[in-house]
Structure 1
Amino acid sequence: MENRSEAEASPYKSLVAAVSYGIASMAMVFINKAILMQYGHSMTLLTLQQLATALLIHFGRQMGYTRARGVDMETAKKLLPVSLFYNANVAFALASLKGVNIPMYIAIKRLTPLAVLIAGFSSGKGKPTTQVTLSVLSIAAGVIIAALGDFSFDLWGYGMALTSVFFQTMYLVLVERSGAEDGLSSIEIMFYNSFLSLPFLIFLIITTGEFPNSLALLFAKSNSLSFLVILVISLVMGIVLNFTMFLCTIVNSALTTTIVGVLKGVGSTTLGFVILGGVEVHALNVTGLVINTAGGVWYSYAKYQQKMSKPPKQVSDVEAHR
């Protein structure tokens, strides 16, 4: 079964899932920047990405390219909170950018691993190992130190960003539970998330006034080949990013996914310094990033040790012959 192989992933598959998500997530930062420089309607772009994802999986299932099951209303009801938290995370994240500069936004969002750790412990998942706890705290400390080098306070923006962290935490924890407890594959969760997101997103772009202006601008820019290429790449990478994110969360954990996101943020920031230039680097920024990265490497090592120390799962004769 597809979902069985994901839930019982080997260390190699876990590593591949994490690295793939990191690469896709980092690439998406620059792709989104490129498309938004020409097309500023971010919510419409997100709607198009979700629509493309839902259609691709639907037709892929119809043509036999994937074993993902069709829509089940009971499953849809269970995953509705996942979709709501996902869209709330995106909405509050976009709102926070109106009052918080990008370095501080990234710093605040990097607090998600700590929130996931607390949420997992509170929900009875069990106490993490000392190394895992200390590594996540190191990441959080690095974020705070780095943020002190470029600190500007906006109460509204900070509130929106922290609310986004909360919704992202709940979203990732729910994704992890849905994959492990309900036996859903990453493709199935991705389909339900896209399918359930569309009504909310369509309502959002209408009430915020993006539609129909965003659609008119999209048609106007469709004459540009370069814009169409970037748009198609953005839609494809949106699908790839969602798939690798769900896969990483299922075969690893919600905490691992957020740690990869933290390291991606470090990589994106570093590439931004190199590619874009013109950004003043403070000692606190560098110190914080070093601590942040070291914490991520420490966490990866701790989780690898933890995974390798687990005894292999005994498979019954019935399961072995399924």
Structure 2
Amino acid sequence: MLHFPSLISYGFLSFSMAFLNKALFEISDFQNSLFVVLVQLLFIILSFQLLGSMRIMPVPVLTQADVYRFLIPSIFYSLSTIASLQALMKLNVAIYVVIKRCTPAFTFFLQAIVLKKQKLDFKTGICVLGLTSGAVITSISDLTFHFESYFIGSLSVVFQSLYLLAMQRCSEHKSSSEVLYINSLIALPMVFVLMVLFTNDLSNVQSYHGYKTFSFWLYFLASTLGGGLLNGSTFYCVMKNSALTTSVVGVLKSILQILFGLFVFDRFSININTIIGIVLSLFAGTMFSYYEYTAKQKKTVTSTNHIDREERIQESTNLYCPTQEMPINSEKLTP
């Protein structure tokens, strides 16, 4: 049975975050993406500490083995998050979502081609091609084409896919909350170093003149709190429902984001190529999720039938070959 509170919270936060971050960057003109990521990671870590002090949940312990194990995934996570926000600063929200929708298909493609862990059949191959083609057609029709932002957005897809693949190998014996906390702890110093060495975010934050405005604090706090709550709600939704249900909600969320994103903030020039690209991307993404769902259902049914068949064989074996108890020689037991 579906757990609607978790679905609603995840769907709402997932839908809102792109617009909240975009509002912070554009309306408040606070274009310091690495600083935003740093504050979001701090919020996650402090939230765990607060919940631990209130004895609501235990605070995971970071060991040296965990650092070695989660270092690579944390690097990909940091790069993916930074690249995503960098792309969002320049791209229209709808275009940004179209590019990010390529992540599940690209992850599947890497599993099938590089890691040989998935079977890339004709249907899923067409979906991957459709998603990619839709993103390309949409970008070509963008009259305000900004190559750097499209390139960074594409990099965010690659880094997120690598993060997901690396995390699959590293998080087998960890709960979702432990992974979130450990990942945030390891990523925090990396983001700080990148911010200090390669950006002017610290000086820009110090010289920013919008701290007295209500809109800045509204968007900044919403972005910070929302980023942490989104991570928690994602894990909560997966725990209460399933990863597949969560991904379906993600598809529906993407459709709404694209529809709203076309008409808010920087207005996007809509033409026939735009419509074709967006529709193709959405259709291919939806069909990809559907094929993933049916494949998992078939795998579950096959596994269940296999277990039932083994149980029937075992029962028939016990029926025709009853176990005979060895008689106990009481004379030998008597001293």
Q: Residue 85 of structure 1 is aligned with which of 45, 64, 76? A: 76
Structure 2: 5+ residue stretches without partners: 308-335
Q: Distance in 1 between matches of 2:277 and 2:145?
A: 19
The aligned residue for residue 163 of structure 1 is: 155
Matched, 1:231 2:220: yes
Q: Distance in 2 between matches of 1:305 and 1:97?
A: 33
Match runs of 1:5-44 below 5 Å: 12=2, 21-36=10-25, 37-38=27-28, 39-44=30-35
- The answer to whether the 8 Å contact 2:10/2:230 transfers is yes
Please give the secondary structure, in 2, of the residue aligned with 1:172: helix
Higher Cα Rg, which structure: 2
- The answer to whether the 8 Å contact 1:104/1:151 transfers is no
- The answer to whether the 8 Å contact 2:143/2:269 transfers is no
Matched, 1:204 2:215: no
Q: Distance in 2 between matches of 1:22 and 1:130?
A: 31
Structure 1 residues 284 and 260: alpha-carbon distance in aligned structure 2, compared to 1, 3 A threshold: farther
Please give the secondary structure, in 2, of the residue aligned with 1:211: helix
Structure 1 residues 30 and 108: alpha-carbon distance in aligned structure 2, compared to 1, 3 A threshold: closer
The aligned residue for residue 303 of structure 1 is: 292
Per the TM alignment, residue 283 of structure 1 is displaced from its structure 2 partner at its CA by 0.9
Per the TM alignment, residue 183 of structure 1 is displaced from its structure 2 partner at its CA by 2.4
- The answer to whether the 8 Å contact 1:273/1:279 transfers is yes
Aligned residues: 296
| TM-score relative to the length of structure 2 | 0.73
Please give the secondary structure, in 2, of the residue aligned with 1:75: helix
Matched, 1:138 2:130: yes
- The answer to whether the 8 Å contact 1:68/1:187 transfers is no
Match runs of 1:180-219 below 5 Å: 182-207=172-197, 208-215=199-206, 217=208
Equivalent position amino acid for 2:278 in 1: L
The aligned residue for residue 36 of structure 2 is: 45
Q: Distance in 2 between matches of 1:87 and 1:195?
A: 11
Structure 1 residues 129 and 30: alpha-carbon distance in aligned structure 2, compared to 1, 3 A threshold: same
CA deviations on 1:220-258 (whole Å, 9 max, x unpaired) are: 71x4445333332222210122234556789537xx85x
Q: Residue 164 of structure 2 is aligned with which of 147, 168, 172? A: 172
Q: Distance in 2 between matches of 1:31 and 1:99?
A: 14
Farther off after superposition, 50-59 or 296-305? 296-305
- The answer to whether the 8 Å contact 1:60/1:66 transfers is yes
Please give the secondary structure, in 1, of the residue aligned with 2:202: coil
Structure 1: 5+ residue stretches without partners: 1-10, 315-322
- The answer to whether the 8 Å contact 2:92/2:268 transfers is no
Q: Distance in 1 between matches of 2:32 and 2:159?
A: 22
RMSD, matched Cα:
3.5
Per the TM alignment, residue 29 of structure 1 is displaced from its structure 2 partner at its CA by 0.9
Q: Distance in 2 between matches of 1:175 and 1:17?
A: 23
Structure 1 residues 63 and 72: alpha-carbon distance in aligned structure 2, compared to 1, 3 A threshold: farther
- The answer to whether the 8 Å contact 2:109/2:120 transfers is no
CA deviations on 1:37-79 (whole Å, 9 max, x unpaired) are: 3222221111111101111012213332224532222122211
The aligned residue for residue 150 of structure 1 is: 142
Q: Distance in 2 between matches of 1:136 and 1:17?
A: 29
Equivalent position amino acid for 1:172 in 2: L
Q: Residue 125 of structure 1 is aligned with which of 117, 125, 128? A: 117
Q: Residue 291 of structure 1 is aligned with which of 280, 289, 312? A: 280
